[in-house]
Amino acid sequence: MHPNPVFRGGTKSDALAMARARSFGILSVNGKAGPLAAHIPFDLGQGEVFLHLARSNAIARADLPAPAVLIVSGPDAYVSPDWYGVVDQVPTWNYVAVHLRGVLERLPDAALRPHLERMSAHMEAQLTPKSAWLMDKMSDEAVARMMRMIAPFRMIIEGVDSTVKLNQNKTDTQRAGAAAGIADRPIGMEASRIAAMMRAAE
């Protein structure tokens, strides 16, 4: 998380809403030989994160329960100092990110199917008017094969941190110039969304 408090003014509920909307992040725990990381979809509950990992994943085979962090990245964009319209500025990167910290634990196998059904229902609901995909569309053999390959986990959330870096440390005019530059020459993921967020912050 960025240390400047001007970029950390978002609420906990805003941070959790962003994480829930993304439902994808990087899970990390300490392993015996160093940090372990996995890109994962997840199901955000009330004070806990439900997820699954391939049984062969290094995190799935780590010594659990263990402290963990789940990093959820939002939109980001490169900012050229020329766009501020003043001298003696430096390049930077605007971005939105949420870190969820807690304890990761393995769950019984019986928790896997309900987790998968909740997670797919959450994502499929965003595809309307498409008919939602249901696990019932799979054969029993295919479901059993999938279940043998993955295992369920839960992270109890103990901390929520977020960064919303939108040039809040610049003047309205400088921020507007940077937003216009990003919109015209976007570099980053969903850079146009960052430009829109910067304009909304004016």
pLDDT confidence of residue 111: 96
**Average pLDDT of span 97-108:** 97
In angstroms, rounded to a whole number, what is the distance separating the alpha carbons of residues 140 and 31? 35
**Average pLDDT of span 17-36:** 95
pLDDT confidence of residue 1: 72
Contact 178, 93 (CB under 8 A): no
Cα within 13 Å of Cα(139), Cβ side: 3
List of E strands, 45-195: 48-54, 66-79, 92-106, 150-165
Residue 165's nearest CA partner among 99, 98, 93, 100 is 93
Mean pLDDT for the chain overall: 94
Contact 166, 175 (CB under 8 A): yes
Domains delineated in the chain: 5-197 (2.30.110.10)
pTM: 0.91
Q: pLDDT exceeding 70 applies to what percent of the chain?
A: 99
Task: Name residue 67's beta-bridge partners.
Answer: 103
Measured from the Cβ of residue 168, the count of other Cβ atoms closer than 10 Å reads 14
pLDDT confidence of residue 63: 93
**Average pLDDT of span 173-189:** 96
Contact 48, 157 (CB under 8 A): yes
In angstroms, rounded to a whole number, what is the distance separating the alpha carbons of residues 160 and 47? 10
Contact 116, 147 (CB under 8 A): no
Cα distance between the two ends of the chain: 23
Segment 137-147, tens digit of pLDDT:
999 999 999 99
pLDDT over 90 at 9, yes or no: no
**Average pLDDT of span 36-64:** 96
Query: Which residue type sits at 169?
Result: N
pLDDT confidence of residue 202: 62
Tell me which of 9 and 120 has the higher pLDDT.
120
pLDDT confidence of residue 159: 96
**Average pLDDT of span 134-163:** 95
Query: Hey, what are 3's tokens?
Result: 């240390």
Cα within 13 Å of Cα(37), Cβ side: 7
pLDDT over 80 at 10, yes or no: no
The 3-state DSSP class for residue 5 equals helix
